[in-house]
């Protein structure tokens, strides 16, 4: 049997970096990336992108959602009506729960979009188009 | 598609009488594509993912696999063989392969079908594929039932947890409860344990004893029995407690999972009062089997039927023909049956297409077709048994209190749906949607569709089939891509238009509603 080792989220006792607060901005607590248990590949390969202003490490080819999970972040969207936090749910691009703003563009399915070095990922609040309603 | 837009928008595909377009490159689609190419057909494969394999043979991108290899799924050798054959056929031009493209609609044009595609996250217009025949191998996604707390971050689909593990090598937590119903849960729990998670419990709402109702079906599917026993042994070794006739009926935690309540359920899946106990965990992987992905098939007009699992699937004949001429289907769209059945049906459907192209049964493959038909019958019988054993009992509706969100996109609660049914007279999912917006959001009812149907029907309806709505387009499409389809606009102009923000959301009026 092959055992693979993966990084896990902060889990019990960890703070919840990036967990959205109703009506507020996510990522206000803690440092994204600090909570992830170190994995064997942390040392060499990989790159950084930013999530709500904090650095997150990703491995080449990882989706934004996978990199955020590895950093202990489980939510990166707040819902349109109740402002509740959401993150990856179906993992295959069919539920649209994991929408994030990537480099300013809302409605990216984080479970499908590969993370790229230097990406700016932000919690998507509501429909992500507040600028249309001003 | 920078720099190649005008080329990319040109029609592609086997417009010849020998043309076949295969939609989906999972096990069924791949088996179909290489078999049809072996027969000399001109095959175009359109797949939404970057790499072939579908959900079952989903693997990390090459860069990631090089850094940290994962465990290969069962059947990997057969899949590698299909990939080798695919590569050979692509080299000769017998198979054209469009990765990263999603078919959003198909329209008749004379004797041919025009498949309209989009590509990229935003849904930019892709090439149109003109083809004489279509083989739908669109696979499935997970079926979900709502319960209090299922929207809290850390609750993920069981198949979703596995997909994230396969493709991204990550886990949602350290201590993950696996719950729901169906044999997939065993595979998910084993994968999570192998990846280093603690899985304190596997919570199954049905009972495995249900399989004993059909000893002959089991005897005809020894591989399924072996797989179940192997998983059971692996779970026992890993210290995973298997709790059957039980369900997670609540998740606790504010912005993150902290614990779940596990309750015993009766044979109708109704929670037994006072049986709830709390299990500490930091994630929940939950799912109630899979449901066929039928958007494109329904849009084309293919008839559906309800399977033993309670979900709609395509009505197919022994030659895997749908009710629409020139359209075949293989694998999960005909009813959830797993990877083995998908491989059998993909190959079988391709033989059937080839026979039609040549104007009669093919002598050289007659023996093979007979053995495939036998395998299909045995495996379909098992699939129906599996569906019946794990079909959600009507009592699951007691899990969802009035505050439980059913539609995750539009944030519609069970209470509002119940009001629509009891006070406004809605008796089907479509009417509920019109009253409440349940199923009208981004995912177009993929996640809540089954639950809304179940909440809307009365018990006297019995097993009345949920008939899926026609919902064009089958995926989000940029307005510029829609505009580009029917005009002869200068490609440069179309390319410019696609940069305008504002994607058309599925269902037109669903997504961009202003408050």
Question: Domains plus CATH for chain A?
Answer: 47-123 (3.10.20.440)
**Would you call B1 exposed, middle or buried from its count of C-beta atoms within 10 A (0-12, 13-18, 19+)?**
middle
Q: Are residues B255 and B378 in the same domain?
A: no
A82, A114, A129: residue with CB nearest B411: A82
- At B446, phi and psi to the nearest 5? -60, -40
Positive or negative: CA dihedral B445, B449, B455, B457: positive
Model confidence, pTM: 0.87
For residue B442, give the CATH number of its domain: 1.10.10.1100
Q: Are residues B277 and B180 in the same domain?
A: yes
Spatial contact of B327 and B134, defined as CB atoms under 8 Å apart: yes
A65 pLDDT above the threshold of 60 = yes
In order along its 515 residues, chain B shows pLDDT tens digits of 333 333 334 445 545 677 999 999 999 999 999 999 999 999 999 999 999 999 999 888 888 877 776 667 778 889 999 999 999 999 999 999 999 999 999 999 988 999 999 998 778 888 999 999 999 999 999 999 999 999 999 999 999 999 999 999 999 999 999 999 999 999 999 999 999 999 999 999 999 999 999 999 999 999 998 999 999 999 999 999 999 999 999 999 989 999 999 999 999 999 999 999 999 999 999 999 999 999 999 999 999 999 999 999 999 999 999 999 999 999 999 999 999 999 999 999 999 999 999 998 889 999 999 999 999 999 999 999 999 999 999 999 999 999 999 999 999 999 999 999 999 999 899 999 999 999 999 999 999 999 999 999 876 665 556 677 788 788 888 888 887 754 332 333 333 333 333 333 333 333 322 22
Torsion of CA A30, A36, A42, A46, to 10 degrees: -70
Question: Contact A85/B69, CB-based, under 8 Å?
Answer: no
Q: What is the ipTM of this complex?
A: 0.88
**Chain B CB within 8 Å of residue A38 CB:** no
Q: Are residues B272 and B154 in the same domain?
A: yes
Last residue of a domain, one of B258, B287, B316: B287
Q: Is residue B511 in some structural domain?
A: no
Tokens matching residue B116: 């309209």
Q: How many CB atoms lie within 10 A of CB B42?
A: 21
**Chain B CB within 8 Å of residue A94 CB:** yes
- Calpha distance B13→B117 (Å, rounded): 12
- Which residues are CB-contacts of B364 (< 8 A; sequence separation ≥ 6)? none
Question: Contact B168/A87, CB-based, under 8 Å?
Answer: no
Spatial contact of A93 and A112, defined as CB atoms under 8 Å apart: yes
Question: Contact A5/B196, CB-based, under 8 Å?
Answer: yes
DSSP conformational letter for B209: G
Residue A20 pLDDT: 32
Pick among B57, B118, B153 to test the A interface (most A CBs inside 10 A): B153
Question: Contact B71/A75, CB-based, under 8 Å?
Answer: no
- Calpha distance A10→A14 (Å, rounded): 5
Q: Tell me which chain B residues have a C-beta less than 8 angstroms from the C-beta of A91.
A: 156-157, 159-164, 167
Q: Are residues B235 and B369 in the same domain?
A: no
pLDDT tens-place string over residues A6-62: 554 443 333 333 333 333 333 333 333 333 333 334 445 799 999 999 999 999 999
Q: Are residues B134 and B195 in the same domain?
A: no
Size of interface A-B (CB pairs under 8 A): 197
Q: Tell me which chain A residues have a C-beta less than 8 angstroms from the C-beta of B64.
A: 59-62
Q: Are residues B97 and B121 in the same domain?
A: yes
Q: Is residue B477 in some structural domain?
A: no
What is each CA distance from B83 to B45, B187, B406, B458, in whole angstroms? 13, 24, 40, 48
Q: Is residue B29 in some structural domain?
A: yes
Spatial contact of B33 and B146, defined as CB atoms under 8 Å apart: no
What is each CA distance from B168 to A97, B62, B72, B163, B477, in whole angstroms? 18, 11, 14, 8, 27
Which domain does B466 fall in, by range? 401-470
What is the distance between the terminal CA atoms of chain B, rounded to a whole angstrom?
A: 34
Question: A52 to chain B, minimum CA–CA distance in Å?
Answer: 17
Last residue of a domain, one of B255, B287, B319: B287
- Calpha distance B258→B239 (Å, rounded): 21
Tokens matching residue B140: 């499935």
Q: Is residue B88 in some structural domain?
A: yes
Question: A5 to chain B, minimum CA–CA distance in Å?
Answer: 5
Q: Are residues B354 and B297 in the same domain?
A: yes
**Chain B CB within 8 Å of residue A26 CB:** no
Question: A105 to chain B, minimum CA–CA distance in Å?
Answer: 8
Residue B18 pLDDT: 74
Q: Are residues B268 and B309 in the same domain?
A: no
What is the number of domains present in chain B?
3
Last residue of a domain, one of B287, B321, B343: B287
What is the distance between the terminal CA atoms of chain A, rounded to a whole angstrom?
A: 57
Q: Are residues B331 and B195 in the same domain?
A: no
Q: Are residues B44 and B75 in the same domain?
A: yes
For residue B305, give the CATH number of its domain: 3.50.50.60
Q: How many CA atoms lie within 13 A of B302 on its CB side?
A: 29
Q: Is B446 helix (H, G, I), strand (E, B) or coil?
A: coil
What is each CA distance from B283 to A79, B146, B279, in whole angstroms? 20, 16, 11
Question: Contact A90/B153, CB-based, under 8 Å?
Answer: no
State the residue for tokens 């369900």: B247
Q: Tell me which chain A residues have a C-beta less than 8 angstroms from the C-beta of B403.
A: none
Q: Is residue B343 in some structural domain?
A: yes
Q: Are residues B216 and B305 in the same domain?
A: no
Q: Tell me which chain A residues have a C-beta less than 8 angstroms from the C-beta of B162.
A: 91
Q: Is residue B513 in some structural domain?
A: no
Pick among A21, A94, A99 to test the B interface (most B CBs inside 10 A): A94
Q: Are residues B381 and B409 in the same domain?
A: no
Q: Is residue B15 in some structural domain?
A: no
Q: Is residue B35 in some structural domain?
A: yes
């Amino acid at each position: 049997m092959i055992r693979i080792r993966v990084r896990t989220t902060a889990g019990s006792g960890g703070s919840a970096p990036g967990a959205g607060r109703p009506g507020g901005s996510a990522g206000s607590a803690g440092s994204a990336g600090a909570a992830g248990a170190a994995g064997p590949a942390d040392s060499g390969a990989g790159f950084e992108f930013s999530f709500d202003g904090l650095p997150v490490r990703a491995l080449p080819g990882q989706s934004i959602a996978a990199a955020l999970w590895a950093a202990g972040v489980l939510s990166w969207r707040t819902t349109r009506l109740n402002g509740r936090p959401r993150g990856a749910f179906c993992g295959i691009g069919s539920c649209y729960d994991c929408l994030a703003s990537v480099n300013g563009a809302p409605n990216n399915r984080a479970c499908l979009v590969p993370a790229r070095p230097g990406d700016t990922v932000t919690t998507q609040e509501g429909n992500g188009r507040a600028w249309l309603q001003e | 598609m920078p720099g190649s837009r005008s080329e990319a928008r040109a029609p592609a595909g086997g417009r010849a009488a020998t043309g076949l377009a295969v939609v989906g490159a999972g096990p069924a689609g791949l088996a179909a594509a290489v078999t049809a190419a072996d027969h000399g057909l001109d095959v175009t494969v359109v797949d939404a993912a970057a790499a072939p394999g579908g959900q079952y043979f989903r693997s990390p991108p090459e860069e990631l696999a090089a850094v940290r290899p994962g465990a290969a799924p069962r059947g990997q050798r057969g899949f590698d063989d299909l990939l080798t054959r695919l590569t050979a056929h692509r080299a000769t031009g017998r198979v054209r392969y469009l990765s990263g493209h999603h078919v959003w609609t198909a329209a008749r044009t004379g004797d041919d079908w025009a498949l309209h595609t989009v590509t990229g996250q935003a849904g930019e217009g892709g090439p149109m594929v003109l083809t004489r025949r279509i083989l739908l191998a669109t696979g499935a996604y997970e079926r979900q039932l709502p319960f209090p707390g299922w929207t809290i971050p850390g609750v993920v689909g069981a198949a979703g947890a596995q997909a994230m593990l396969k493709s991204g090598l990550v886990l949602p937590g350290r201590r993950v409860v696996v719950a729901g119903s169906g044999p997939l849960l065993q595979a998910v729990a084993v994968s999570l344990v192998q990846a280093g998670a603690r899985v304190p419990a596997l919570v199954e709402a049905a009972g495995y004893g249900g399989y004993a109702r059909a000893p002959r079906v089991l005897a005809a599917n020894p591989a399924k029995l072996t797989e179940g026993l192997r998983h059971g042994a692996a779970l026992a070794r890993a210290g995973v407690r298997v709790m059957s006739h039980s369900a997670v009926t609540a998740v606790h935690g504010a912005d993150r999972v902290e614990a779940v309540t596990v309750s015993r359920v009766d044979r109708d899946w109704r929670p037994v009062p006072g049986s709830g106990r709390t299990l500490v965990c930091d994630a929940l992987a939950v799912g109630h089997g899979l449901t066929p992905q039928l958007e494109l098939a329904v849009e084309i007009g293919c008839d559906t039927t309800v399977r033993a699992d309670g979900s709609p699937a395509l009505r197919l004949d022994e030659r895997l023909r749908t009710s629409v001429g020139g359209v075949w289907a293989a694998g999960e769209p005909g009813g959830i049956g797993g990877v083995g059945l998908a491989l059998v049906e993909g190959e079988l459907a391709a033989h059937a297409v080839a026979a039609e192209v040549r104007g009669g049964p093919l002598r050289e493959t007659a023996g093979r077709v007979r053995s495939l038909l036998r395998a299909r019958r045995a495996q379909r019988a098992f699939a129906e048994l599996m569906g019946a054993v794990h079909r959600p009992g009507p009592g699951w509706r007691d899990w969802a209190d009035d505050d439980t969100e059913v539609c995750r996109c539009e944030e519609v609660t069970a209470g509002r749906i119940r009001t629509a049914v009891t006070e406004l007279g809605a008796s089907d999912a479509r009417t509920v949607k019109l009253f409440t917006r349940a199923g009208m959001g981004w995912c177009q009812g993929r996640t809540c569709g089954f639950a809304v149907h179940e909440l809307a029907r009365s018990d006297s309806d019995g097993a009345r089939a949920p008939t899926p709505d026609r919902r064009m387009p089958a995926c989000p499409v940029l307005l510029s891509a829609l505009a580009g389809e029917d005009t002869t606009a200068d490609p440069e102009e179309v390319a410019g238009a696609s940069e305008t923000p504002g994607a058309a959301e599925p269902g037109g009026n669903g997504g961009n509603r202003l408050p």
